[in-house]
C-alpha cells in the first residue's frame, strides 16, 4: 500500500487502486445499512442483517436503508462519470454539470412539469433529462463561442450566467404556482431518501443508451485529450465525439437529477479525486470514477442522516458544503491544470 505514495499517480497499477476503491465502497454500503436517523442502533441493524431482527428492524434495514443505498450508488455512479466525461470533453477541470448549468436546466424542467400538474412523487425521468439536454446544448453554444482556448474560467463564467438565468426563470414560473413552489423547495436540496426502486428500473433504458455512447467514445475521447489535431490525425471526428458525449452526459445527469434532485459538486469532486489517484488518462480515471462516485454520495448520505436527527439534512446541501472546498483546493493548487 505504502508503495503507492512513492510513485506518481500515472504509474500506479489501476487494478489494485480499483480493488481498494471497491473495498472502501463495500465498507460504505455496509455502514449505510447500519446507520440511520431512526431509533435502530447499529448493533441491532447488524443482527438484522444476520437475520435476527424484528419485522420493523427488517423493514428499516432491508427496505429503507437498502433502497437509499442503491439509489445513492446509482446517483454517485452517474454523476461521477458525467463529471469525468464533461471535464474530458471540455478539457477543463472545473467543468461540472452543476457549475455549467446542466442541473439548473433539469430544475427548470422539473419546475415546469410541477406547474403543469406533475408531483415530485410521480416525476418522470424524461423531463429532467430533456432539461439537462437543454442545459448541455447551451454549454456547447458557449464552448463554440468561446473557442475553449485553454481558459477554464470562461466556460465556468458562461455556466454561472446560464445557471442564474435558469434559476430566475424557475422562480418566475414558481411565482404563479405556490403548490409547486412548496414542493420544489424540498426537491432542490436533493435527497436519496424515500425513492422507490422502480424509479431505478425506469431509467435503465436511458442508462443503456448512455453506456453505449460512452463505450463508443472512450477511445476517441482519450485521443481528444491529447489535442484536437492528434484526434483528427488518428482518424476521429472531434465534433461528433463531443456531441455524443454531451448526449451521454445529459442522459446521466438528467437521470440522477430526476431521482435525487440536484446534487451539486459530485461531478467536480469525483474526477478530481480520480486524477489524484491514477493520473490524468481518461481511460484510467473513468474506471476509477465508477466506485468513487458512489463512495462520496453514500458517505454524504450517511452524514446527512446523522447530523439532524430525527430529521435529515438535505443531501445537496451537504455535498455543496463538502464539494466547494475541493473546488477551492483545485484553484489553490499552483496552477489550473489543463486537461
Binding to another protein, residues 77-96 (CB under 8 A): 94
Residue numbers 7-46 binding another protein by CB under 8 A: 36-40
The least CB distance from residue 135 to another protein, in Å, is 12
Residue from 7, 19, 41, 144 binding another protein (CB under 8 A): 144
The least CB distance from residue 273 to another protein, in Å, is 17
Nearest alpha-carbon partner for 193 in 4, 21, 36, 319 = 36
- Considering the complex, state which of residue 129 and residue 189 has its C-beta at the smaller distance from another protein: 189
The least CB distance from residue 18 to another protein, in Å, is 30
- Show the binding pattern over residues 103-132: x = contacts another protein (CB under 8 A), - = does not: ----------------xxxx----------
Q: Is 313 in the site for another protein (CB under 8 A)?
A: yes
The least CB distance from residue 37 to another protein, in Å, is 4
Residue numbers 240-299 binding another protein by CB under 8 A: 264-265
Q: Is 323 in the site for another protein (CB under 8 A)?
A: yes
Residue numbers 165-194 binding another protein by CB under 8 A: 165, 168-169, 171-172, 175, 177-179, 181-183, 185-186, 188-189, 191, 193-194
Q: Which three cell numbers stand for residue 204?
A: 435503465
Cis omega before residue 211 (within 30°)?
Answer: no
- Window contacting another protein (CB under 8 A); options: 74-82, 215-223, 275-283, 303-311: 303-311
Nearest alpha-carbon partner for 298 in 11, 43, 76 = 76
The least CB distance from residue 189 to another protein, in Å, is 5
Residue numbers 55-74 binding another protein by CB under 8 A: 56, 59-60, 63-65
Residue from 7, 157, 209, 307 binding another protein (CB under 8 A): 157
The least CB distance from residue 179 to another protein, in Å, is 4
Q: Is 141 in the site for another protein (CB under 8 A)?
A: yes
**CB contact at 8 A, 304 and 176:** no
Q: How many residues does the chain have?
A: 339
- Show the binding pattern over residues 206-235: x = contacts another protein (CB under 8 A), - = does not: ------------------------------
Residue from 158, 203, 249, 296 binding another protein (CB under 8 A): 158
The least CB distance from residue 229 to another protein, in Å, is 22
**CB contact at 8 A, 207 and 97:** no
Amino acid at each position: 500500500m505504502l508503495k503507492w505514495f512513492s510513485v506518481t499517480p500515472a504509474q500506479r497499477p489501476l487494478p489494485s487502486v480499483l480493488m481498494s476503491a471497491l473495498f472502501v465502497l463495500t465498507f460504505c454500503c455496509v455502514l449505510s445499512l447500519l446507520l440511520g436517523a431512526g431509533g435502530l442502533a447499529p448493533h441491532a441493524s447488524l443482527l438484522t442483517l444476520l437475520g435476527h431482527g424484528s419485522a420493523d428492524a427488517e423493514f428499516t434495514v432491508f427496505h429503507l436503508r437498502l433502497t437509499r443505498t442503491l439509489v445513492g450508488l446509482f446517483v454517485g455512479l452517474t454523476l461521477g462519470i458525467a463529471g469525468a466525461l464533461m471535464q474530458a470533453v471540455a478539457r477543463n477541470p472545473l467543468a461540472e454539470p452543476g457549475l455549467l448549468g446542466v442541473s439548473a436546466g433539469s430544475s427548470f424542467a422539473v419546475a415546469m412539469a410541477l406547474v403543469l400538474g406533475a408531483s415530485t412523487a410521480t416525476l418522470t425521468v424524461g423531463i429532467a433529462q430533456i432539461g439537462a439536454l437543454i442545459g448541455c446544448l447551451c454549454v456547447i453554444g458557449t464552448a463554440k463561442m468561446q473557442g475553449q482556448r485553454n481558459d477554464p474560467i470562461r466556460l465556468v463564467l458562461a455556466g454561472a450566467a446560464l445557471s442564474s438565468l435558469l434559476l430566475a426563470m424557475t422562480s418566475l414560473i414558481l411565482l404563479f404556482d405556490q403548490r409547486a413552489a412548496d414542493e420544489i423547495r424540498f426537491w432542490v436540496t436533493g435527497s436519496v431518501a424515500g425513492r422507490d426502486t422502480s424509479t431505478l428500473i425506469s431509467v435503465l433504458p436511458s442508462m443503456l443508451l448512455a453506456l453505449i455512447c460512452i463505450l463508443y467514445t472512450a477511445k476517441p475521447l482519450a485521443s481528444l485529450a491529447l489535442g484536437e489535431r492528434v484526434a483528427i490525425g488518428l482518424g476521429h471526428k472531434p465534433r461528433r465525439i463531443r456531441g455524443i458525449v454531451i448526449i451521454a452526459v445529459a442522459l446521466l445527469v438528467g437521470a440522477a437529477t430526476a431521482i435525487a434532485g440536484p446534487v451539486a459538486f459530485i461531478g467536480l469532486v469525483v474526477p478530481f479525486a480520480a486524477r489524484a489517484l491514477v493520473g490524468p488518462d481518461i481511460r484510467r480515471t473513468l474506471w476509477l470514477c465508477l466506485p468513487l462516485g458512489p463512495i462520496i454520495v453514500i458517505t454524504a448520505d450517511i452524514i446527512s442522516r446523522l447530523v439532524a436527527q430525527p430529521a435529515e439534512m438535505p443531501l445537496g446541501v451537504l455535498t455543496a458544503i463538502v464539494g466547494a472546498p475541493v473546488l477551492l483546493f483545485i484553484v489553490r493548487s499552483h496552477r489550473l491544470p489543463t486537461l
